[in-house]
Structure 1
Amino acid sequence: MPAAPPTKQRAKSLATREKLIAAAAEEFRTVGYFNTDTNKIAVRAGYAPATFYKHFKNKLSIFLAAYEAWVAEEWRALEAADDDSETLIRTVLAHHKKHLLFRTDLRALAATEQEVKRYQNKLRREQVKRLAELAPDLAPAGDDWSTPVFLLLTMERVSDAIADGSAKASHASETKLITNLIKLIDSLRH
């Protein structure tokens, strides 16, 4: 039997939650996790600060929801992109550049907050599975997921280094790094 449609109240509550997540994602993208608070997130979403706590326990809990939305947004972009390696890399890189502060704070929080680290690991496992679906030749043989994990982590970290300028500061050419990522993907695909 199909699930009953949500009540008007439930639908309104879900819409409020989504607005709060979108507002938080924008706050984290533009000013960073450490430079905002739950009141600013609620106000950005168009709600009184008390509304925030009807939907989220604290700033960290909405950060995790925003992280999940970030991953979903990246996958929508990847699924809409052409399948060639360069387009995929440039799509990931553009997403990392757009969300530089968010990604920087994610790395810091994952290093200091076990809840964030556990959630990051959960989402990475899901990403690796989706990566194998997107490029079936990367699917693991048996239980060894080393190849898609290697690709995901390499793409993620190199994209972050390009986005935050640390690659350039280390005298690495963005063009050459992208070329190397393309070669890596192509070598793993064939």
Structure 2
Amino acid sequence: MTRQSVDRPRRGHPDDTRDRLVRAAAETFDTYGYAGTDVRRIVAAAGYATGTFYRHFPHKGAALLAAYEAWVVAEWEALGAAILAPGSARERAERIIDISIDLHARWRGLREALVGYRSIDENATLAYRELQRRQVATLARLREQVSPGTVRPPEADVLLVMLIERAAEAMAAGEPAELGLRWDTMRALLVGAVADALGDDDRGSGGCP
């Protein structure tokens, strides 16, 4: 998901309308948080009437979940391209970490809005867990393409996803500096951990198998 202004809407397919509402919801939640966002703000950003919103979503929480799902899908499309691009495990890890930090910094408010929503709605947590399962399954498929035949327990994939997500979030928020730590050292250690988890096919810049 790229951060951009929402153009004036045109009549079209309902899916286009929903996509516009999702993009507007992402921007609005990112800016105002969960508590500060209401349906009127979302439709104002999208350029639609309130009735249009309710034809696609029952409430603002549903729009937030749709926006977060779109963010996750976009993130893993970018990470997938980074993993499958030519290079060693370390080069792949560097791309993964840099993309993750950038996306977490850019959409920090959206993720915080989801945390707020999860604290008051159990269904939001269930939806979040399902997205985590999809992330883990995606990682497993990508790693199989890079290193065919590599067998790792699912716990390893879960830990890797959690490591990338939490560390990228912390670094994007400036936590290392607040703790008196060096950002570049944290990044190097994180890259090393992700490279080890990915495994190296010893093909260097020759690309993926």
User: TM-score, normalized by length of structure 1?
Assistant: 0.86
Contact 2:101–2:168 at 8 Å: present in 1 too?
Answer: yes
Instruction: Give the distance between the partners of 1:123 and 1:140, measured in 2 at CA.
Output: 24
Provide the aligned C-alpha RMSD in A: 2.1
Percentage identity across paired residues of the two chains:
32
The C-alpha deviation readout for 1:120-176, integer Å capped at 9, x for no partner, is 11000000011112222599848x411111011011111111122233212232212
Instruction: Give the distance between the partners of 2:121 and 2:185, measured in 1 at CA.
Output: 34
Amino acid at match of 2:117: L
SS of residue in 1 equivalent to 2:35? helix
User: TM-score, normalized by length of structure 2?
Assistant: 0.78
Instruction: Give the distance between the partners of 1:102 and 1:34, measured in 2 at CA.
Output: 12
| Stretches (4+) displaced over 4 A | 137-142
- What is the aligned residue count? 179
User: Which protein has greater RCO, CA pairs closer than 8 Å, 6+ apart?
Assistant: 2
- What aligned pairs does 1:156-175 form with structure 2 within 5 A after superposition? 156-175=165-184
Instruction: Give the distance between the partners of 1:158 and 1:139, measured in 2 at CA.
Output: 28
Note closer, same or farther for the CA distance 1:26–1:172 as it changes in structure 2 (3 Å cut). Answer: same
Instruction: Give the distance between the partners of 2:193 and 2:106, measured in 1 at CA.
Output: 24
| Correspondence for 2:66 | 65
Note closer, same or farther for the CA distance 1:150–1:108 as it changes in structure 2 (3 Å cut). Answer: same
- What aligned pairs does 1:1-190 form with structure 2 within 5 A after superposition? 12-81=13-82, 82=85, 84-136=92-144, 137=147, 141=151, 144-190=153-199
Amino acid at match of 1:39: R
Note closer, same or farther for the CA distance 1:167–1:105 as it changes in structure 2 (3 Å cut). Answer: farther
| Correspondence for 1:6 | none
Note closer, same or farther for the CA distance 1:112–1:141 as it changes in structure 2 (3 Å cut). Answer: farther
**Structure 1 runs not aligned, ≥5 long:** 1-10
**Structure 2 runs not aligned, ≥5 long:** 1-11, 200-209
| Correspondence for 1:4 | none
Choose between structure 1 and 2: higher helix proportion.
Answer: 1
Amino acid at match of 1:161: A
Q: By how many angstroms is 1:119 displaced?
A: 0.6
